[in-house]
Structure 1
Amino acid sequence: MAAVHKYFMAPDPGRVRLRVSLRAVLGIALAVALAELSGLSLVASITAGLAALLALFTVADPSVRRQAVTTALLPTVGFPVLALATLLHGAPALRDAAWLLVIFAGVYARRWGPRGHALGIFAFMQFFVTQFLHALPAQLPELYAATGIALGAAAAVRFVLWPIERRVPPPAAPAPLPGTGLARATTRQAVQVAVASGAALVIGQVLSEQRWYWAVGTVWWIFVNTASRGETLVRGFRRVLGTVTGIAAGFLVAIPLGGAPVATALLVAVCVFGIFYAAPVSYSWMILAVTVMASLLYGLLGVLDGALLLLRVSETVVGAVCAGLAVTLVLPVRTHTTNDAWIQRALLCVRSATSASVRRLAGEEAADPTPHAAELEALLGRVRLSLAPLVHPLTPFLGRKQRARQVLVLLDEAAAEVRGLVAVAADPDASHDARLAAACWRVEAAVEALTSREGAAMELEGHLRADGEAHAGAPALVHARGLARVLTELDAPLRTPPGAWMVRS
């Protein structure tokens, strides 16, 4: 019950998550309705609905213009992959090899940011959909038509009928961690996903010659939005948990329903809402909604039964195990290295936001701390994801969990101080306190010590005591001093040897 309460009561500033979820239901319903009115088959209508879902779910560029461009580019990868998958339907060996190449390329493309990420997912899912629907070459023209209708409907709803992002621009996703060759996380992941998918494909086909693709799909989605071994293992656990609970719901809902069109359509709409509403806060709840939706679609296709749902669980477990082994044994990306990189980027962003705020208060009109504050929020989201393996309820390393939680609490406090400082800097009537320069120096010195590991951070405690009361002075000074204090307190948990609190590889 606590998990349910947390899911439904999660913060939703501006009701953006609610509105995005309702818009997704509208966009997908419009795509399916247009496909039906065009006289397309049930398979094509389902293809339209899934294509619209992907267009609305995966395109996450930081500006509306870039979102529109990415949406327009989806057919450039989707149509060739759709043709490849259907034309190779009767040649299993070539089909499997082609899909592994698509998988590798789709993950490799993540190095190009949100656009590469979205195009890679769309390409993968177009291949997946043809397996899910057992599409044949003769159906290719109407599948193209359905996908085109879906993308048009999704674009119309997103950019014309309900342009939420024009009023509330989404925060820019942090750029991938740097590196070249096999030192780049996206390259390593591309190899890992290809290896894991190959193993899942083989084992999945042993379990079922018809539904083997669920194991491959599990591998793919476990690796989405992860960057280290620990993150991937936690995602795998949540994938299995969400699938098992979704299958249980499928037994209670989808099987008794028996594919009744109207009731199924309404419940699919509820599942679509759940997918979008849950995605930002709970991966397990999102997968539960996906699993129930898939069960309902199987009911529409007339192939749903208890054995099929149990097979889905088996294929999911196979995919999760293959993903876990690959991320552990094949070019592993150390969790500590990833954690450290994201935390350092967040700390450097704190320094930039503080410096820009102080310069703005000093009268420098060109100094704008707002972009730095927005970047900090996105980076902290990435830090939370990176540290998730350490604070997971089932982690056996209690000391590491405690320190990881301490880091998260202190970083949240730092973000709150930065938000306060930025708000003061945005006030044209705010005054500049001469002591701000000294406070800003302390923040910069603390960040330098924490990111260079030179041991200077502990000296800041003496400076803070010598400076007098931390809560005296103008609001900007209070926030700057508070920020320096928080950064000083971060010294202990961040300087603890990696093996003592972070997953060591």
Structure 2
Amino acid sequence: MRLKRVFVAPDPGRVRLRASARAVLGIGLAVAAVVAAGLPPAAAVTGGLAALLALFTVADPTVRGQAVTTALLPLAGLPVLALATALHERPLARDAAFLAVVFCGVAARRHGPRGNALGIFAFMMFFATQFLHAVPDRLPQLCAAVLLALATAAGVRFGLWRIERRTPPPAAPAPPAAGRGTAHPATRQAFQAAAACAFALAVGQAVSQERWYWAVGTAWWIFVNTASRGETLVRGFRRVVGTVGGIAAGLLIAVPLHGAPAPTLALLAACVFGIFYTAPLSYSWMMFFVTLLAGLLYGLLGVLHPGLLALRLEQTAVGALGAALAVTFVLPITTHAATDAWIRRALHCVRECAAESARRLAGDPAADPAPRVAELEAVLGRLRMSVAPLLHPLSPLRARKARARQVMVSLDDCARQARGLTEVAADPDASHDARLTAACLRVEAAVGRLVNPAARPAAGLPAPGAEPHPHPGAERALAHLHGLEASLTALAAPLLGGARTPLAGA
């Protein structure tokens, strides 16, 4: 994605803009508080990282949940920080502990946004000790910096600059087909991430005994917010692209600065803004700003040189290769399997929306299709991530790419029609129209044929009876239901046409 498109992309309510500006303020104040407390530069870097993670990874759907997760971050991070510093001079034990943190951090994602945030924070605390070569004598300073920075960031987020939403965001959809053991997506991904990081650790140390942790960090972050082999491979590719761009910028900007405080701090603030602003839109551009930020930090620490940036590229390639091998050979979750599950989930939402609408139109005040529509939109957002590998410009699977596009167009139209139906379903004057009930039943039947085409057709639909008196609300609802039927009919070709199994090849 071009940078111009990223910065002119729609930003309803300027939420991204305000969140990015708040991050710059929160992280800046956190670092200033650590410095004002008389702590050394390494502690200031650790505190800044803690504040960045608190503002970036804590994503509970409610403000109260975000506050609780933020308060729990020290409980997840400080013990790991202490363990990492204690094992700094014992490489074998340190490496084993690091991989254990990787596994537990990814497995914690089964607990939703809170588990994800705590797992990331714990991993990054271990990573930070390698970045700073922290020894046990520095532990009190690092812990104090983390606590002070988290308190400052929380004060900005929950007190000084609140970003309220007019409507609560829909809950993030849980991964489909969750189960126990390796059947649970988080557990499978934990094994994959541990294997990828083990490869990255071993090869990364062969490349450099000093900066091997970059490879491990690359492998770890590639697995964040991915669920299938295709998603992970695409993210690895985008990470390498973003890193190459960031290294080029580092050579042109960070190296000539030689760590000059004033311009470096200004550029660090710009990078923080760029990370937060581009993260929802482009992983490559986010990585560009992350890489440039790392180069500027090394400049402040007085160790930046062109060879160091070249080494970062090598370690990034090692980490990306480790992730690619892990998702290919360790409990692989194919793009087809993940996409198929999300499509089924979306169709289930459409069917439930039609059923709730039918009940509401029949006069049941407890029926409400609105939550189903919100769930449908959240599922479609996750489906877009799942089909991204098929729609990637470099994908050679042209037939599957075309089918994936057809599926997304039809499901997006389903969501649009469902939103319109929900708006008029509560109209009491539109109720008691037998045509609407019959149309809802036809939508449910159409979904059933897509999900299970081998099943017998449902019993005949009830006759509409006498011609109802036309009403604008009823006519609009009927139009939306007919639109849903048309969209579901259009899905039959890409999902069932020439396929061996339902939904195959999507």
TM-score range, shorter chain: over 0.9
Letter in 2 for 1:16: V
- Residue in 2 aligned with 1:144? 143
**How big is each residue's C-alpha offset from its partner over 1:133-171, in whole Å with a ceiling of 9 and x where there is no partner?**
111211111111111112112221222222224545333
Asked if 2 retains the 8 angstrom alpha-carbon contact of 1:59 and 1:115, the reply is yes
Alignment map for 1:393-408 (pairs within 5 Å) = 393-408=393-408
Aligned to 1:311: 311
- 1:413·1:486 contact (CA, 8 Å) conserved in 2? yes
- The separation in 2 between residues aligned to 1:394 and 1:151, in whole angstroms, is 42
1:79-100 superposed Cα distances (whole Å, 9 cap, x missing partner): 1000011111111111100000
Report the TM-score, using the length of structure 2 for normalisation: 0.93
Tell me if the contact between 1:82 and 1:130 (Cα under 8 Å) persists in the aligned partners: yes
SS of aligned partner of 2:434 = coil
Matched, 1:80 2:82: no
Residue pair 1:103, 1:194 contacting (<8 A) in 2 also: yes
Which residue number corresponds to residue 172 of structure 2?
Answer: 173
1:118 paired residue number: 117
- Please give the secondary structure, in 2, of the residue aligned with 1:253: helix
Q: Deviations over 1:417-456 (max 9, x none)?
A: 1121222236677666432111111111122222224377
Residue of structure 1 in register with 2:476 after alignment? 475
Correspondence 1:34-183 to 2 at 5 A: 34-165=33-164, 167-177=166-176, 178-183=178-183
Q: Is the 8 A contact 1:111 1:176 kept in 2?
A: no
In 1, Cα distance between equivalents of 2:7 and 2:394: 23
In the aligned structure 1, how far is the partner of 2:259 from the partner of 2:500? 53
Letter in 2 for 1:58: T
Equivalence for 2:200: 200
TM-score, scaled to structure 1: 0.93
For structure 1, which segment, 333-342 or 207-216, has the greater mean C-alpha deviation from structure 2 after superposition? 333-342
> Number of residues paired by the alignment?
495
Residues of 2 paired with 1:452 and 1:154: CA distance?
50
Could you tell me how far 1:498 is from its partner in structure 2? Answer: 7.3
CA gap 1:502/1:304 in 2 versus in 1, 3 angstroms: farther
Distance 2:14 2:439 in 1: 37
- Unaligned stretches of 5+ in structure 2? none
Q: 1:410 to 1:45 in 2, by over 3 A?
A: same
Q: What are the Cα deviations for residues 343-377 of structure 1, in whole angstroms up to 9, with x where unaligned?
A: 11111112222332343344332222222222112
The equivalent of 1:32 in structure 2 is: 31
Q: Is the 8 A contact 2:212 2:315 kept in 1?
A: yes
Return the letter of the residue paired with 2:347: L
Report the Cα distance in structure 2 between the residues aligned to 1:33 and 1:502, rounded to whole angstroms: 55
Q: Secondary structure at the match of 1:490?
A: helix
Identify if the C-alpha distance between structure 1 residues 86 and 242 changes in structure 2 by more than 3 Å, giving closer, same or farther.
Answer: same
Q: 1:170 to 1:390 in 2, by over 3 A?
A: same
Of the structure 1 ranges 442-451 and 304-313, higher mean CA displacement relative to structure 2 is found in: 442-451
Judge which range, 491-500 or 168-177, deviates more: 491-500
Tell me if 1:447 matches 2:442: no
**Identity across aligned pairs (percent)?**
63
The residue number in structure 1 matching 2:294 is 294
Q: Is 1:472–1:478's contact at 8 Å kept on the other side of the alignment?
A: no
Query: In 2, distance between residues paired with 1:268 and 1:164?
Result: 23
Conserved in 1, the CA contact under 8 Å of 2:451 and 2:502? no
Q: What's the CA shift for 1:480?
A: 1.4
For residues 339 and 349 of structure 1, what CA distance do their matches in structure 2 show? 15
Q: Which runs of 5+ in 1 are unaligned?
A: none
Identify if the C-alpha distance between structure 1 residues 363 and 424 changes in structure 2 by more than 3 Å, giving closer, same or farther: same
CA contact (8 A) 1:197 1:322 kept: yes
Structure 1 residue 349 corresponds to structure 2 residue 344? no
1:299-351: CA deviations, max 9, x gaps?
A: 11111110000100000001101110111011111221111111111111122
1:484 and 2:485 correspond: yes
Change (3 A) 1:456 1:32: farther
- Tell me which moved more, 448-457 or 214-223: 448-457
